[in-house]
């Protein structure tokens, strides 16, 4: 089995990140609202490196950068965070990389960060992502009706959450 691990997102990851934002599949599923640029990608990485409410990680498959996981809106008082993930490299999608990266992100959130809840939103037509989220322990907690604009059509957005394992 190939190794999937997370490392802190750094300046050397900006070019790949920008390239993935230009990929229509990634851009559509993320719901990008502005034109991506290398400068915006680099600025996000620099901000994330110093912002205690963000834990941004590169997904490495073996040693190849294939996507990103971001925990943001980290609320240490309420012990929760929002998760965003995408596998940017087309040839690695659908092969379990995202699921393994999700497992690593949950280990980070519940272990190192000591949080109790990880939440996310996903448009209801993203069946592959929803299946991966459910497989690692997320549950649908609500539906935001017609909250996501996908190809010019308003579609439902699912609010999903995963709680830390109780010992």
Is 70 exceeded by the pLDDT of residue 146? Answer: yes
Q: What is the mean pLDDT of the chain?
A: 94
pLDDT in tens, 74-133: 999 999 999 999 998 888 888 899 999 999 999 999 999 999 999 999 999 999 999 999
Residue spans of alpha helices (H) in the chain: 14-21, 24-30, 38-50, 97-107, 127-135
Gap between the Cα atoms of 147 and 151, Å rounded: 13
**pLDDT recorded at residue 26:** 84
Query: 112: Cβ–Cβ under 8 A, 6 or more apart, which residues?
Result: none
Is 80 exceeded by the pLDDT of residue 166? Answer: yes
What is the model's pTM?
0.92
The 3-state DSSP class for residue 29 equals helix
Q: Which domains does the chain have, with CATH numbers?
A: 4-163 (3.40.630.30)
Where does the pLDDT of residue 31 fall: very low under 50, low under 70, confident under 90, or very high at 90 and above?
A: confident
pLDDT in tens, 49-71: 999 999 999 999 999 999 999 99
């Amino acid at each position: 089995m190939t190794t999937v691990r997370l490392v802190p997102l750094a300046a050397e990851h900006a070019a790949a990140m920008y390239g993935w934002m230009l990929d229509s599949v990634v851009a559509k599923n993320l719901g990008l609202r502005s034109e991506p640029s290398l400068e915006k990608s680099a600025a996000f990485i620099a901000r994330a490196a110093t912002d205690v409410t963000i834990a941004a990680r590169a997904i490495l498959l073996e040693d190849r950068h294939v996507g990103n996981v971001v925990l943001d809106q980290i609320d240490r008082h309420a012990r929760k965070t929002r998760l965003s993930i995408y596998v940017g490299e087309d040839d690695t999608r659908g092969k379990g990389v995202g699921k393994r990266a999700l497992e690593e992100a949950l280990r980070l959130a519940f272990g190192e960060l000591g949080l109790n809840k990880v939440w996310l939103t996903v448009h209801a037509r993203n069946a592959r992502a929803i299946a991966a989220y459910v497989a690692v322990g997320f549950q649908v907690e609500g539906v935001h009706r017609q909250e996501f604009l996908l190809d010019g059509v308003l579609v439902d957005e699912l609010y999903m959450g995963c709680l830390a394992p109780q010992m």
